[in-house]
A and B are shown apart, each in its own frame.
Chain A
Amino acid sequence: MTAAGPLPDTDDAPVVRVEDASVELGGRLILRGVDLAVRPGEFVALMGANGSGKSTLVRALTGLVPVARGRVSLFGTPVDRFDDWQRVGFVPQRAGAAGGVPASVWEVVASGRLTRRRLFRPLGRRDRAAISSALEVVGLADRSHDGVSTLSGGQQQRVLIARALAGGPELLFLDEPTAGVDLPNQEALADTLRMLSDNGATIVLVTHELGPLASLIDRSVVMRDGRVAYDGGPLDDHAVHQVDFGAGVHEHHHPRPSTHDHAPHVGSPFDLPGHGSELREGER
């Protein structure tokens, strides 16, 4: 273990630590001063509306986007110097699991073993065992020789989860695993994550709807406008969208009446009337 960071890698030290992190993309602040610490074995749901910064936070945690200010560390090592990637599993948003050439389910899952493989070495017996057990966990062992593109969206999502599991990670990041997935597949997913969590894995899940996963989470973190707006006990889907997170009075978000100025929109004729005001609200 390359414990180069300031934190000792003891049992209860945070697995994921974010201190005052800001992320800027294309001149726009997406995350502003986020603080977060995830302890070993925790199941954290990162929630929030579209554009609230929850996906960007996960991309910062995995080192896919650099932080403009602040610090992100995994297992006590700053993420830009972290190289123990076999401890981390990542399930990105499903962006078409197929390239221009057909790929079988087994091949995609096998690529999850790359964190533990050396260059120019064939798969060992242990690699093959890990791949088939990952396929079994997500219930796709019988489809392993089929092309990924012949699977339904929910099944493709399960392939991506099996790929992350094949590496045997201690820490798992999932970005919107339930988006566009039907209920039976969401339940299959919940079973998989429950088993992992029971085995002691730390799970950070980005979602805007928990569905069948609601009973699994230990902690909810709600993002709003790039900041952590709530960090505490589990919230249900309804409470997340309330201003006060279900604590007090029942309240709804009403859309602000957009102020219509009477100058014709000659400069940007394709902008929708409400669009500009939404953006300004987001930047506030």
Chain B
Amino acid sequence: MIELLSEPFMLRALLAALLTGFAAPAVGTYLVQRRMALMGDGLGHVAVTGVAIGLLTGTSPTWSAVLVAVLGAVLIEVIREGGHTNGDVALALLFYGGLAAGVLVTGLAGQSAARLQQYLFGSILTVSRTDLLVTAVLGSVIVIASIGLLPQLFTVALDPDFARVAGLRVRFYNLLVAVLAAVTVTVAMRTVGLLLVSALMVVPVATAQQLSRSFRGTLALAMSLGLLAAVGGLVAAARLSLSYDANVAPGPSIVLLSLLGFIAAWPVGVLARRRARLAAPFAAGQADVRRVEEQHAHVHGPDCGHPAVQHDDHVDYIHDGHRHAEHGSHYDEH
């Protein structure tokens, strides 16, 4: 195992996984904030056409994929900005068109389906030095833009009207997120493949959301989780391949590991949200006050074990399905 990890191709693969695992959830956070979690998926489909054009013309499939995905992203953003009610249908047409055209053009180029499959499901073990360099450059651009422009991108997505009155060029930032998503898709294409790219962008964010209450916390946690999943998935795939003498693909391992993270974090999030709901203050006023006659074995207080909830200027204790508020010598039902 150790020898395998020190092989040059494996080192390159590890570096590529590290970079993409770190960069993809950064852009994914902005997509999830805009409720466009499936955009990465759509761009992946469109990028298939780009790869096919690269194969047909004999140029680098990576650069033609970047070009076509960016064009697709701009088109999607224009459709979204137009606010057409059937915008999602227009997007679906674009996605299927991209995938179908990609497969068709690959055939025209005289390339086998296996060649296309490298891009559809990833082939991180065949990453060359040049590939790694491109991944490093594009990955850095993505990370610098998504962290450096966080205040602007956050504000524009949260409240476009406010952002415009604050003097921000809303349209520019919207386009920037779309272009960054397109670049991320093509960077992650070699690691997890175009059909699973979106998972690496979105699943770590969904996991981080369960545990974080702030946007910056979600972004930082998602990037760390993405990095762990990408490196861990790659190593796990290598291990499984060795011990079972099988061919376990790294792309799906990365995605499944990432999903396992979500499954582990989800119950924690559910519990945290339930506790937050219980401790949420009641609406002011409107309490139907009634004197409680039943005797209490103890005095309600911070340590009595009953959930304490702020209500106007006092604290209610939740007690056998009642809300009790101390009132002189007795309790009122609120």
Given contacts A99-B35, A100-B35, A184-B284, contact A115 B161 (CB under 8 A): no
A99 to B163, CA, bound (A): 14
A17 CB-CB contact with B under 8 Å: no
Task: Please tell me which one of the listed residues A95, A115, A147 contacts residue B166 in the complex, with CB atoms under 8 A apart.
Answer: A115
Given contacts A85-B166, A182-B283, contact A111 B154 (CB under 8 A): yes
For residue B146, give the distance in angstroms from its CB to the closest CB of chain A. Answer: 12
Flag if A100 contacts B167 (CB, 8 Å): no
Flag if A152 contacts B281 (CB, 8 Å): yes
Count of inter-chain pairs, beta carbons less than 8 A: 104
A224 to B175, CA, bound (A): 39
For residue A251, give the distance in angstroms from its CB to the closest CB of chain B. Answer: 34
We find that the number of chain B residues with CB closer than 8 angstroms to chain A is 38
Flag if B218 contacts A101 (CB, 8 Å): yes
Flag if A107 contacts B215 (CB, 8 Å): yes
Task: Please tell me which one of the listed residues B152, B166, B209, B212 contacts residue A119 in the complex, with CB atoms under 8 A apart.
Answer: B152
For residue B149, give the distance in angstroms from its CB to the closest CB of chain A. Answer: 7
The contact string, 1 if C-beta is below 8 Å from chain A, for chain B 160-178, is 0111111110000000000
The contact string, 1 if C-beta is below 8 Å from chain A, for chain B 138-164, is 000000000011011011011101111
Flag if B285 contacts A103 (CB, 8 Å): no
Flag if A100 contacts B215 (CB, 8 Å): no
A167 CB-CB contact with B under 8 Å: yes
A165 CB-CB contact with B under 8 Å: no
B126 CB-CB contact with A under 8 Å: no
B327 CB-CB contact with A under 8 Å: no
Flag if A102 contacts B32 (CB, 8 Å): no
For residue A48, give the distance in angstroms from its CB to the closest CB of chain B. Answer: 20
Scan residues 59-82 of chain A and give those whose CB is less than 8 A from a CB of chain B: 59, 62-64
The contact string, 1 if C-beta is below 8 Å from chain B, for chain A 114-134, is 110101100000000000000
Flag if B151 contacts A110 (CB, 8 Å): yes
Flag if B35 contacts A163 (CB, 8 Å): no
Contacts of B29 in A (CB 8 A): 101
Flag if A145 contacts B213 (CB, 8 Å): yes
Contacts of A182 in B (CB 8 A): 283-285
Scan residues 173-222 of chain B and give those whose CB is less than 8 A from a CB of chain A: 205, 209, 212-218
Scan residues 163-202 of chain A and give those whose CB is less than 8 A from a CB of chain B: 163, 167, 173, 182-184
Nearest-neighbor residue (CB-CB) of A101 within chain B:
B33
Contacts of A62 in B (CB 8 A): 164-165
Flag if A101 contacts B283 (CB, 8 Å): no
Contacts of B284 in A (CB 8 A): 182-184
Given contacts A92-B159, A152-B281, contact A101 B164 (CB under 8 A): no
Flag if B34 contacts A100 (CB, 8 Å): yes
A147 to B158, CA, bound (A): 14
Known pairs A107-B154, A119-B152, A147-B214 / 13 extra A-B pairs, C-beta < 8 Å: A64-B165, A99-B33, A101-B215, A104-B215, A111-B155, A111-B166, A114-B166, A117-B151, A145-B213, A146-B213, A167-B166, A183-B285, A184-B284
Q: Hey, which bits of chain A sit against chain B, CB under 8 A? A: 59, 62-64, 83, 85-86, 88, 90, 92, 95, 97, 99-104, 106-108, 110-115, 117, 119-120, 145-147, 150, 152, 160, 163, 167, 173, 182-184
18 contacts between A and B (CB under 8 A): A59-B161, A62-B164, A97-B159, A99-B35, A101-B205, A101-B215, A102-B213, A107-B154, A111-B162, A114-B152, A114-B155, A114-B167, A119-B149, A145-B213, A160-B162, A163-B162, A167-B166, A183-B284
Top 5 closest pairs, chain A to chain B, by CB: A85-B167, A104-B214, A90-B165, A111-B155, A101-B33
